[in-house]
Structure 1
Amino acid sequence: MKCPLCHEQDCITQEIIQKNDLYDLYKKVFHIDISSMINSDIIYAYCKHCDLRFFLDSNGQMPTGDDSFYSALNQLHWYYMGEKNEYKFAKNYINPTDKVLEVGCGKGAFAKYLPTKDYTGLEFSTQAKKMAAKEGICIENISIEEYAQTHQNNFDVVCSFQVLEHVSDPGSFLQSKLEVLKKGGLMIIAIPSEDSFAKDWVNNILNMPPHHVSRFSDRCLESVAHIFNLKLCEIYHENVQPEHTQYYKSVIWAKKFLPLSPLIDRKLKRKIINRLGKIGTKFIQIPQNAYGHTVLAVYKKN
């Protein structure tokens, strides 16, 4: 088994996820049929070399969502937030004269935070492109791999927010982002943190295929710098955000009774504990230094 990030073969299987469990949970929670995207049980693996966690199907592929899957999720009012805490942090690294590329930009909400007007977004959704155009935001419907072929060494900053964990080839994705970046330019990545409460959030199917297909710890983010010969400028963990407060408390509550849990647990004991948590979580306090859902890493191209 080869790691999709560092390409080393020092990987081990941590868990096997039954495809029927994924089918049932996606239908129950989001009324989405994922059977066309998940055609086998899923391996949850770990790379001992770079610390990446990732999901593979029986063909050795990372099973990502298709257009219909994301179109269904786009109907959820909270799925594309116009304001994210990571935007406020990332903008501090961007100057008024910088040329910025955002990969997987959605409607281009980040562009509104920038001191520069020289912004380009890449996004597969044609609907998002039309919505952005009304705001005067430039978006192209093209992959970063294809875009990099004609825009090498072109940008001062290239960034992505909550995108890397969705892609089927993270190594190629990051390499292509670096190809469009000028020497000395910055690459900014925001992803769910595997060092936060998200790691222990059981039955969180949005952190599993076909939505998220990889997971990154701080150690893995440090490995990215070594793999691609970059300078790691900063790793920033947000605090627990208001929209995640109850999720954080629920995770801590459940861990008191079930400290070692699989990614999916549909047993009666967990259901009882979760119900009791409606009262129990009221007594849980969130430490000021608790890591929130998202981590940002800033790299400089050598």
Structure 2
Amino acid sequence: MPADPPPPACPITGEPAEARVQTVSARLLHDLWRFSHGVAPTPLRRDGPRTGLYRSPCGLMFFHPRVEGDAAFYGGFYRYWQVHARIGRSAAERVEYRAAAAHVRPGDAVLEVGAGSAAFARHLPAGARYVGLDPHAGEYLGAEGIRAETVEDHAARHPGAYDVACAFQVIEHVAEPRALAEAMLRCLKPGGLLILVAPLWPSAITRVPNFALNAPPHHLTWWNERAFAALARVLALEPVAVERLPPTPHQGPIHWMARLSPVRVPDEGPYFRPRWRWHLSLAGAYLLARLANAVRPLPRGAGPMDVMLVARKPPRR
């Protein structure tokens, strides 16, 4: 009988995973995306291998293999849900934007990775200079200083150019989160601030059964305070803040789905199952959440659903 393969390495620390939480079939992932979001999860194939979900000793949850969504996937997904328009409508209430902007001083040069429609720029103090990067900028190219560049390309052309580099709900989408943070650091001046925000595990988003939005090829890693602290440690950064952010009304539908779902997903998993009860619970929770959210934006006692890292790049010695 062949031996089990060794556990995959944590994408932050390189340590072997301490546990495999579950595996998910490519067929299930493919069907969840097609039926709940109207898009094929390319480049994942329906007849492809199973994907494992692992827990790292540092607290990070990560899928393996980590396959990022391609341009076709995100183009279809963003059109189906009008993602950029939704972010723009909720920009004023988004706690992560306000929390990050509090660390920006007038006159600072600010870089945002994964800028979308540059909604964060509206929160910056007067005099701050903003550049947003989005390889799939589309209609927003050129608006509010948005450039269709990757952060790696930008870092090669503009090393040490920024006082603040931030990314909101981006790091969980990339196969190599540590490499993303390292590229952002190359853009920072000595003493500059790295600000990252990601969905929190465990939270309402991980308690919705069969929730494709929190699965490959969209979300490849799940974060918490321990995971962000580990990222700061391996990059030799000085943590300024590692904290959970309070919920905001734009997150209401997910909070209501977790609250109203007949299937309650435990924090330790499993999170995905090819069972009709789980599928029907997802559909029912979505319909009930739309009704509840129209009456009350957040359920009573809703907890944090995002976690933020603010860390300082070491000064030049």
Classify the TM-score, shorter chain. 0.7 to 0.9
C-alpha contact 2:30 2:44 (8 A) present in aligned 1: no
Contact 2:172 2:222 in 1 (8 A): yes
Choose the corresponding residue for 2:309, options 284, 292, 297. Answer: 297
- Higher mean C-alpha deviation, range 111-120 or range 207-216: 111-120
Deviation (angstroms), 1:274: 6.2
Match status 1:91 vs 2:97: no
After superposition, the C-alpha distances for 1:175-210 in whole angstroms (9 at most, x for unaligned) are 111111112111111110113222222211111001
Q: 1:246 and 1:66 mapped to 2: Cα distance?
A: 26
110-119 vs 92-101, greater mean Cα deviation: 110-119
The one-character-per-residue Cα deviations of 1:272-297 (angstroms, maximum 9, x if unpaired) are: 66688678997x9522xx43322222
2:72 counterpart of 1:72? no
- Taking a change above 3 Å as real, the CA distance of residues 270 and 113 of structure 1, as seen in their structure-2 partners, is same
Residue from 201, 207, 216 that aligns with 2:208: 201
SS at match of 1:148: helix
C-alpha separation between the residues in 2 aligned to 1:144 and 1:151? 10
Give the structure 1 partner of residue 179 of structure 2: 172
Q: What residue is the counterpart of 1:22 in the other structure?
A: 29
1:41 corresponding residue in structure 2: 50
Residue number among 50, 62, 66 corresponding to 1:54 in the alignment: 62
Structure-2 change in CA distance of 1:269 and 1:26 (3 Å): closer
Asked if the contact 2:42–2:73 (Cα under 8 Å) also holds between the matched residues in 1, the reply is no
Structure 2 gaps of 5+ residues are 1-7, 293-297
Taking a change above 3 Å as real, the CA distance of residues 268 and 223 of structure 1, as seen in their structure-2 partners, is same
Cα distance in 2 for partners of 1:218, 1:267 equals: 32
Deviation at 1:261, TM superposition (A): 4.6
The C-alpha deviation readout for 1:230-253, integer Å capped at 9, x for no partner, is: 121113333332233343243245
**CA positional deviation for 1:42:** 0.6
How many residue pairs match? The answer is 291
Query: How far apart, in 2, do the equivalents of 1:34 and 1:141 lie?
Result: 23
Distance 1:88 1:257 in 2: 32
Structure-2 residue corresponding to 1:262 = 270
Opposite residue 54 of structure 1, the aligned amino acid is: F
Contact kept? 1:3, 1:11, Cα under 8 Å: no
Q: Which moved more, 1:265-274 or 1:99-108?
A: 265-274
Segment drifting more, 77-86 vs 218-227: 77-86
Contact 1:195 1:291 in 2 (8 A): no
| 1:53, distance to aligned residue in structure 2 (A) | 1.1
For 1:273 and 1:34, locate their aligned partners in 2 and report how far apart those are by CA, in whole Å: 22
Give 2:112's aligned amino acid: E
Match of 2:122 in 1: 112
CA contact (8 A) 1:153 1:180 kept: yes
Kindly report structure 1 stretches of 4+ aligned residues shifted beyond 6 Å: 274-282
Letter in 1 for 2:165: V
Task: Indicate how the Cα distance of structure 1 residues 200 and 108 shifts in structure 2: closer, same or farther if over 3 A, else same.
Answer: same
The change in CA–CA distance for 1:107 and 1:54 in structure 2 (over 3 A counts) is: same
Stretch deviating more after TM superposition (209-218 or 33-42): 33-42
Q: Is 239-248 or 69-78 further displaced after alignment?
A: 239-248
Letter in structure 2 aligned against 1:209? P
Structural mapping, 1:209-224, within 5 Å: 209-224=216-231
**Is residue 2:159 matched to residue 1:149?**
no
2:53 partner amino acid: Y
Q: Which of 110, 121, 127 is the aligned partner of 2:132? A: 121
Kept after mapping to 2: 8 A contact 1:237/1:291: no
C-alpha displacement of 1:45: 1.2
Unaligned runs of 5+ in 1: none
Q: Please, what is the CA RMSD of the aligned residues? A: 2.7
* Alignment partners' CA distance in 2, 1:127 and 1:265: 36
Shift of 1:71: 0.5
CA deviation string 1:83-134 (max 9, x = no partner): 1331122111111110111111112221222123411111101414xx252x
Question: Percent sequence identity over matched residues?
Answer: 26
The structure 2 residue matched to 1:100, chosen from 110, 113, 116, is: 110
| TM-score, normalised via structure 2 length | 0.82
Q: Which residue of 2 aligns with 1:189?
A: 196
Separation in 2 of the partners of 1:141 and 1:276? 39
